[in-house]
A and B are shown apart, each in its own frame.
Chain A
């Protein structure tokens, strides 16, 4: 019976080190999203203020153009939907991370 040849060709196992590409989270990136969200809410507030202003004009009879108010209120409604959609997506992403099985 021939002798079993020794097993060879293995390289030593590399010690586990933190990958440079997944270094600790950049604290600035969280602030950037927060800023973007704040700006979005500010823009929404301005759109709604415009619509409110035109609604007051419509009520007091000083509105020059009916469509101006309708367009402003339409725009405010869509902007609100957009902002809430962004908020919902952000919350959903946060919940996905929090519920991740470790």
Chain B
């Protein structure tokens, strides 16, 4: 992505990765109360894997999944209970997700401020020589 305004593009990749990270966090938190029958895998937490992009910047190289073991509980009254009366709840670490959300938000903000400083710098460079 060699060009005149590289900083803008590179910061843009940072913004995209942090937005996808927030998407994953939103996905995890929205599924926090999922319940499945005891003989099926529970909701697994999603994690985005970020790595340096070849031409500069960062990119999401994949999505990793946490454990789908969940929390098994005996609840024969539950309509989802399996033959043995067990259901499986999603085991989402809400505190961990909230911490990650703060990290993602701060990372997003950092990239945004690089973007706005770079814009300012480019505009100041265009004023060079003007009175």
Query: Contacts of A78 on B, CB cut-off 8 Å?
Result: 5, 119, 122-123, 126
> What number of residue pairs across chains A and B have CB atoms under 8 A from each other?
33
Interface segment among A12-20, A25-33, A66-74: the answer is A66-74
Contact with B along A1-43 (1 / 0, CB 8 A): 0000000000000000000000000000000000000000000
Contact A71 B126 (CB under 8 A): no
Given contacts A65-B16, A67-B16, contact A74 B126 (CB under 8 A): no
State in angstroms the CA–CA spacing of A75 and B126 once bound together.
Answer: 14
Interface segment among B7-15, B69-77, B86-94: the answer is B7-15
- Give min CB distance, A67 to chain B, whole Å: 4
Q: Counting CB contacts under 8 A, is A81 at the interface? A: yes
Interface size for A (C-beta < 8 A) is 12
- Give min CB distance, B46 to chain A, whole Å: 18
- Give min CB distance, A86 to chain B, whole Å: 9
Contact with B along A43-79 (1 / 0, CB 8 A): 0000000000000000000000101100100110011
Q: Which residues of A are in contact with B by a Cβ distance under 8 Å?
A: 65, 67-68, 71, 74-75, 78-79, 81-82, 85, 89
